[in-house]
Amino acid sequence: MTVITRETRETRVRVEIGAGSGEGTIDTSVRFLDHMLATFARYAGLELSVTARGDLPHHLIEDTAIAIGAALEQFRPAGIVRYGERTIPMDDALVHACIDLGGRPFYRGPLPSTLYDHWMRSFADHARATVHLRVLRGRDRHHVVEAAFKALGLAVRDALVASGAIMSTKGTVQWDDRVSAGER
């Protein structure tokens, strides 16, 4: 189990993440965010516990994404498939997610919600993951965002499968986190 605690003047976030059945406890005080994080955990097959409080929904959503991304980056074992992609239909919404857990942060969206588009960008940056989301169809923002979290979760599940090899021609990449650790 990996534990990350992020505290600023604006927020306090504690995340525990580990392999499991997709269960966990989520308490951020933002009901829709709680729903999306529980959905992500279920589809990713991760045990996820999140406790978060903050001054504004924007700060809380952003800092929760940063902490979950950082926790996933630390939790990620070597020798995984690294890549995953899934497309999820949800009522009127159809969303495609692709992820590379290879250490190169990049995000391309957008989602039709600036808060949750920002969640995805912050998550990708701190998970050191490349994340591409394509909204292929959808009018209902709730359905589109939820389909995105489901697709991302399943893509993460696929990427975390053990491969028995380092899936890179570069081999294992070593990071010196002394500079960036304070930014988490």
- Tens of pLDDT, residue by residue over 55-104, are 999 999 999 999 999 999 999 988 899 999 999 999 999 999 999 999 99
Residue 26 token pair: 């989520």
- Residue 182 falls within a domain, yes or no? no
The whole-number average pLDDT for the span 134-149 is 98
pLDDT over threshold 80, residue 180: no
- The structure tokens 């994080």 sit at 37
- Residue 108 falls within a domain, yes or no? yes
* pLDDT band for position 23 (cuts 50, 70, 90): confident
- Residue 155 falls within a domain, yes or no? yes
Residue-number span of the structural domain to which 143 is assigned = 2-168
The whole-number pLDDT of residue 170 equals: 57
- Residue 101 falls within a domain, yes or no? yes
Q: Quick one: CA dihedral 84, 129, 70, 76, positive or negative?
A: positive
Q: Are 105 and 56 in contact (CB under 8 A)?
A: no
**Amino acid letter at 33?**
L
* pLDDT band for position 3 (cuts 50, 70, 90): very high
> How far lies 67's CA from each of 71, 93, 138, 163, 184, in Å?
6, 28, 29, 26, 7
- Residue 175 falls within a domain, yes or no? no
Domain count, the chain: 1
- Residue 180 falls within a domain, yes or no? no
* pLDDT band for position 175 (cuts 50, 70, 90): low
The whole-number average pLDDT for the span 127-152 is 98
Domain at 13, CATH number = 3.30.230.40
